[in-house]
Structure 1
C-alpha cells in the first residue's frame, strides 16, 4: 500500500518538533528524572504510539494498523532489553542521573538516523533480492538461539572499536564538565565521559538494529510503518529507562520471551513462500508471549524487594568538573 510523500513529511516534521522541544525547552537544564515524571512521560509516549495506530486505522484501514501495532510491540519489547544495557554503560562511565537524560536524547536522535538507513537498505534488498527474506529469517533464528542460550546482552565499553579509535586522535577526560560533550583542555579539544558513553550507546544500538529491523520486516515490509514503529518505540524508551531501569533485573524471563518472539518471526519469514501467516495471528502471538513473560516474571519476583538502580553516578556530584567513576573507567589523567 503506497504512502504519499506528504505523510512522510508530516511524520518527520512531528518527530523533529518533539525532539527539539524535549532537548532544548522541556529538559534544557540537567535534572534528575523522578519516577513520577518518568511515569507521566511513559504514558504520554504510549498514548502517542497507540494514537498513531488509531490514525492509521481511520486513514488506511485495519491492515496497516495491525502491521504497525505488531511492529510497535516487537520494538517496545526489544527496547526493554536495551534498558539494562544502557544502565550498564552509564554505570561503567559513572554518569550521574542528572546527565543521563541528555545522553539518551542525543542517542535517540542518532538511533533514528541510523535505523532509517537500515530500513531503506533492508527494504531495497528485499525488493531486489527475494532471497534476502530467508537471510533475515535465518538471522533471527540464530539470534533467538543466542538469546535463549546466553541470556542478557553483555556490553564491554573498553573493547568498543569506535571509542578506541577516537582515543587515538583525541584525549578522553576522566571528569565531567556539566552537560558538555567536548571540552578544551590545555588548548586542545577533549572528549568528556558523556560523549564516550554516547558513542558506546550509539554503536551498541547498531547491534540492536540488526535484530529489530529484520524482526519488524517479518510483520510488514511497508517502510513507512517500519520507520514509524521504530520512531515511537525509541521516543518512549527514554522515559521507560528512568521508570524501570531499577527494576530491569526483575524481568528475569524477558530474555526467554524475546527469544521466542524472535524465533517466531524468523520462522514466519522462512515460511513466506509456503504459507503467509495472517497479521492478526502474528499480533496475537506477540501479545500472548509478552503477557506470559511478564506474568511469570511478576509471579517469580512478587515477594522480592526492589533492586538498586544500575548506572547511577555519585548522588552529590557537582555541575562542573565532576569526577567520573574512575574505578570502572579505563581512562586516566595521563591522556589529557
Structure 2
C-alpha cells in the first residue's frame, strides 16, 4: 500500500510539473523557482516525518539521511546542466522543458538501477564494500581529475550517434524536440542530459546503501531528491560559480560514505550520526564558499 500511495503521489506531482514545463514561451522566474524549491523540500520533509511517525524513528532517519545525501550529490548535476545548456545554446525559456523530461527519464532510469542494486546487496552483501570503493574513487576523481569547465557535452558518444542517425534541424524550433521527422538541437540537449545523469546515477545510487538497504527508502529518497531538481536549477544557476568549495565538500561526503561501506564489517555508525556528519560537511562547504568566494565572483 505504501508503494502504491507513493507512486500515485509522484505521478500526480509529475503531472502538475508537466503543466508548468509545458509553458513554451516563459522562462522560470527566480521567485517561482524559490517557491517550487521550498514546496519540494517541505513535501519531502513532510513525507519523511510521516515515515518516522508511522514506521518508527530509524526508518525516518534512514529516509532523511538518504534524501540529504542524494540531494547534495544531485547538485553536482546542476554544474553540468549549466555547461550543457551553454554548449547547445538553449534559450532560458526552453531550459525548463529539457530539465523536466530529463528528470522524468532519470526517475525511470534510477528506479531500474535502484532495484537492481537492492537485489545485488541482498544477495551478495559483500558488494557493499565494492560500492564503497567506487565512491572513494569517485571522490578522488572529483578532487583531482574532473574539470567541468573543459567538458564538452556535444562530444558525448550517444549525442554524436543521434546527431548522425537522425535528420536534424540547424536551429532550435521553439520548445519542440521534433519538427515533422526532424529532430531539433533541443533533443540533443535532452539526450546529453539523460546520458550525463546515468553517469551520476552510477556514482550516487550506491552511496545511499551506506545508510539503508531498504528498497522503498532507497527509492523514495532518490525520487524525492530528484523531483525538485528542475526548480533548484533556476534558483542556483547564477550562484554555482560562487560555490567554490561545494565540490570538495561533495568529495568529502563521498569519501566518508565510501569508507563507511568499505569498513561495514567493523564500523557500525548509527544512522543519526551519519546524517549529522553528512549535513555538517555540506553546511561547512556552503558556508565557507559564501565567506570565501572565488576572486572573480566576490564582487
State whether TM-score is above 0.5: yes
* CA distance in structure 2 between the aligned counterparts of 1:252 and 1:50, rounded to whole angstroms: 27
Pair 1:204 & 2:196 matched: yes
Secondary structure (helix, strand or coil) at the match of 2:182 reads strand
How many residue pairs get aligned? The number is 297
1:38-187 matched pairs, under 5 angstroms:
38-153=33-148, 155-184=151-180
Q: Which moved more, 1:143-152 or 1:195-204?
A: 143-152
Change (3 A) 1:167 1:304: closer
In structure 2, runs of 5+ residues without a counterpart are: none
* CA distance in structure 1 between the aligned counterparts of 2:124 and 2:224, rounded to whole angstroms: 29
Change (3 A) 1:219 1:255: same
* CA distance in structure 1 between the aligned counterparts of 2:227 and 2:121, rounded to whole angstroms: 27
Query: More helix by proportion, 1 or 2?
Result: 2
In the TM superposition, residue 278 of structure 1 has moved relative to its aligned partner by: 1.1
1:184-195 matched pairs, under 5 angstroms:
184=180, 189-195=181-187
* CA distance in structure 2 between the aligned counterparts of 1:255 and 1:303, rounded to whole angstroms: 17
Query: Does the CA contact (< 8 Å) of 2:34 and 2:235 recur in 1?
Result: yes
* Cα deviation 1:112-133 (Å, max 9, x = unaligned): 0000011011111111112211
1:168-317 matched pairs, under 5 angstroms:
168-184=164-180, 189-301=181-293
TM-score, normalization by structure 1: 0.85
Query: Does the CA contact (< 8 Å) of 1:81 and 1:152 recur in 2?
Result: no
In the TM superposition, residue 180 of structure 1 has moved relative to its aligned partner by: 1.1
* CA distance in structure 2 between the aligned counterparts of 1:155 and 1:229, rounded to whole angstroms: 29
* CA distance in structure 1 between the aligned counterparts of 2:173 and 2:204, rounded to whole angstroms: 35
In the TM superposition, residue 101 of structure 1 has moved relative to its aligned partner by: 0.6
* Cα deviation 1:31-84 (Å, max 9, x = unaligned): 111111111111101101111111111111110111111111111111211111
Counterpart of 1:325 in structure 2 is none
* Cα deviation 1:131-189 (Å, max 9, x = unaligned): 211110110111111112135546422321212222232122221112111112xxxx1
CA-based RMSD of the aligned residues comes to 1.6
In structure 1, runs of 5+ residues without a counterpart are: 1-5, 308-336
Secondary structure (helix, strand or coil) at the match of 1:228 reads helix
Pair 1:28 & 2:19 matched: no
TM-score, normalization by structure 2: 0.95
Change (3 A) 1:281 1:287: same
Which one has the largest radius of gyration?
1
* Cα deviation 1:79-109 (Å, max 9, x = unaligned): 2111111011011111111111111000011
* CA distance in structure 2 between the aligned counterparts of 1:290 and 1:305, rounded to whole angstroms: 21
